[in-house]
Amino acid sequence: MTPAPDRAAGLPKKFYKSAGAAAVEGGWRVELDGRPLKTPAKQDLVLPNDALAGLVAKEWAGQGDHIDPATMPLTRLVNVALDRTPAAREELAAEVAKYAETDLVCHLADSPAGLRERQEAGWRPLREWAGKKLDIVLVPVEGIIASPQPQASLQAAHDHALSRDDLTLTGLAWACGLYGSCVLAYAVLEGEVDAGTAFDLSRIDEDWQIEQWGEDEEAAEAARARRRDAEALGAFFRSLR
């Protein structure tokens, strides 16, 4: 993928011909022209299986004349997981629990009725699933003002996150931000819904507004970029199962 000329001007030129993954002690290493790819902290980029290493290598293989980090979400994600997450696990778990406090799927419109029905149809099953599967029982409210959620549920969201390995925890925290929802993030992680469906569910309000008033091209492009990130996230979680 070749970026537009105005964006390419600020991007580094591609300096390699091939990207791949090779088995090494401790996992699979991503390589450029047979040499180890390094994280920003200068670690070899070694991942636990060939599926994930292959996904990252594919991002590097897909670059055009310039290297565009915006098109490499999984590279960014694994760099964070390897370089930063080991020292920030508690912080990331707390962030996941913070999303549960104001979870998107708990904020229902008081009107119009059609929007409220669409929200309930999409979100209620996943709220119920999170309660039964993860003990994350969240209380829905009308409007944008948050209501206090059960402390036991917030603790469950935190503890489930903290129990995950560094890669999964990093992906979970990213998913919370992408969807605006701890419930949707856990649902994708656990395979209850796929990443694209979760993205659609996170956009019920936006899509309703688009149906009423239309959408400008800048907003549409931003949504397309976020959907690409969501699809990459789904592949990331599948590779770790």
Q: Give the pLDDT band (50/70/90) at residue 146.
A: confident
Work out the average pLDDT over 215-240: 94
H-type helices in 15-165, by residue range? 50-61, 73-83, 89-101, 113-134, 151-162
In the chain, where are the structural domains located?
Answer: 5-83, 88-240
φ, ψ (nearest 5 deg) of residue 46: -110, 130
Q: What is the pLDDT of residues 25-65, one digit of tens each?
A: 999 999 999 999 999 999 999 999 999 999 999 999 999 99
Tokens of 186: 């856990």
- pLDDT higher than 70, residue 214: yes
The residue to which tokens 């059609």 are assigned: 114
Q: In the CATH scheme, what architecture does the domain 88-240 have?
A: Orthogonal Bundle (1.10)
pTM of whole model > 0.75? yes
- What is the pLDDT, as a whole number, of residue 2? 53
Buried b (16+ CB within 10 A) or exposed e, 54-63: bbbbbbbeeb
- Cα(220)–Cα(215) distance, integer angstroms: 7
CA 171 vs CA 57, 73, 127, 166, 230: distances in Å: 18, 11, 20, 9, 11
Pairing between β-strand 141-142 and β-strand 107-108 as defined by DSSP bridges: parallel
Tokens of 70: 């915006």
Q: Give the pLDDT band (50/70/90) at residue 141.
A: very high
- Cα(172)–Cα(174) distance, integer angstroms: 5
What is the amino acid identity at position 139?
Answer: V
The residue to which tokens 């904020």 are assigned: 107
- What is the pLDDT, as a whole number, of residue 7? 61
Choose between 215 and 55: higher pLDDT.
55
Q: Is 157 helix (H, G, I), strand (E, B) or coil?
A: helix
Contact yes or no for 126/187 (Cβ under 8 A): yes
Quick one: DSSP state of residue 2? Answer: P
Q: In the CATH scheme, what architecture does the domain 5-83 have?
A: 2-Layer Sandwich (3.30)
